[in-house]
Chain A
Amino acid sequence: MPETKITAAIVDYGLGNLFSVKHACSHAGIEGTITSDREKLLQSDVVILPGVGAYRDAMASLHKLDLVSVMQDIAASGKPLIGICLGMQLLMTRSYEFGNYLGLGIIDGPVVRFEEPTITTRDGEKKTLKVPQICWNQIYQPNGHESWDGTPLEGLDEGTYMYFVHSYYAQPDDPAVWLTETTYGDITFCSSVRRDNVFACQFHPERSGPLGLKVYDNIAELVAGRN
């Protein structure tokens, strides 16, 4: 039987740079399709929910496109589901971005804003960092976690740099789903989650150089192993 290519549905809800996600998929040998068609989502091997922009608009758009229940079904079905940046936040229960908005409720916990992340300079002065965080930052295993083996982060070193752009971050209730943590100023937050078939990261692996591409390679391998 000829080897068939892994297919990814990159969910298009009108926001975000879907093209860099698609290019990173191609690099990993995954055939990415940018789509908002629920049938295509159900047929693909993996579903990727990317996104930048406002939480409320993104959820409104998912409702309008009638994609909310299908995303929840996919999460429950065991099909690999990946959330990136705002996509990670959308998987959560709710967000406090400009109000209080319900998310997809796939991972329990809220999305909260960076409240005055502060550093102490070498001169002993306190300095509040800019929000949004726009920079490369490091990912670490949370206390009590042993390894990234078998996850999309397999093979990456502790302290690997990834590219972040965000003002809000997810706070999953269950510490067991925290896959990485990252520190901005004096705030340590959950920078990626994994629960069964669901993986989501606040950083942009598709914009994080060769080590970010490794995340896509790992996703391709994990999906191929499942098929």
Chain B
Amino acid sequence: MNIRIIPRLDIKGPNLVKGIHLEGLRVLGKPEDFAHYYYECGADELIYMDAVASLYGRNSLVDIVERTSREIFIPLTVGGGLRSVDDIRTVLRAGADKVSINTAAVADPELIQKASRAFGSSTIVVSIEAIKHDDGSYEAYVDYGREKTGVDVFEWAQRVEELGAGELVVTSINQEGTGEGYDLDLTRRIAESVSIPVIASGGAGSVAHIYEAISEGSADAVSMASVLHYNFVKQRSVSEEAFEAEGNIEFLKGKWGSLNFGKIKDATVQEIKQYLIENGITCRYQPEEAAHA
């Protein structure tokens, strides 16, 4: 089957942000610009994740979804702060194809069932944010990695499937933003224990990590942020005045020549796909696609 490459856009207010372990969010730019660019580069889907659950705030995620879904014709999953069937309907009506739920699903597992009945299983993605403890156990966290739940992620994954979720996004908070690679053990254990597709998330620092998530982690799709975002940021000069004063813009104030990406070896969507194909993983790759349009 064809693996999907899914850029993940974490959004705070009007800005695209990126942190480490989901903390210390830095502003990288406007989500719309990133979304357009990834669409044109052949991304297979996009995930928008609201870092502060500002669904109904000024410059809210719903506005961004509305604007971009008219121009970007690949599946769009939207998550962050969705509490109810009505919230889900609001985001779908704005143009999302799927929604991702975590906090509200842990608080009220029946929401998964209600939502998958109302909108179809394939519309409901459950996001599992996992922290690995020293004893090797994995606990599900909610509220964008801020709150513990006491729930074992492997039991939760099976329960979520039974309740009718169509897909899982599995994020390792330990790995997230570090560029040290996905948690392959976590990804594989979940991917092999459920019959629905699993999207690996958190930790990609190179194209090789993405390959490993598929070959060793058994992921059906892979989501990544920094690897792609840093590449895009490098390619263009952005004026920091373009961004509103909210958020940490230290990153953007840095001199472009001396950007420190830590362990991240950035890449484009095409470079990721080329690497996968060279290593025997199939995916949609049509470099000529833009010429047809």
Contact = CB atoms under 8 A, between A and B. Distances in A.
Interface string A209-227: 1111110000000000000
Contacts of B167: 134
A27 interface: yes
Interface size class of B (residues with CB under 8 A): 35 or more
A52 interface: yes
A19 interface: yes
Interface of A: 15-17, 19-20, 23-24, 26-27, 52-54, 57, 86, 119, 122, 129-137, 160-161, 163, 165-166, 184-185, 204, 206-214
> Which of A122, A135, A137, A208 is the most central at the interface, judged by chain B CB atoms within 10 Å of its CB?
A135
Contacts, number: 112
A209 B120 contact: no
Contacts of A122: 280
A53 B1 contact: no
B73 A52 contact: no
B69 interface: yes
Contacts of B195: 130-131
A123 to B, nearest CB: 11
Nearest to A164: B2
Contacts of A208: 73-74
A78 to B, nearest CB: 29
Interface string B86-114: 00000011111100000000000000000
A166 B123 CA distance: 11
B119 A52 contact: yes
A185 B117 CA distance: 28
Contact of B70 (A23, A163, A166): A23
B74 A54 contact: no
Contacts of A165: 75, 122, 166
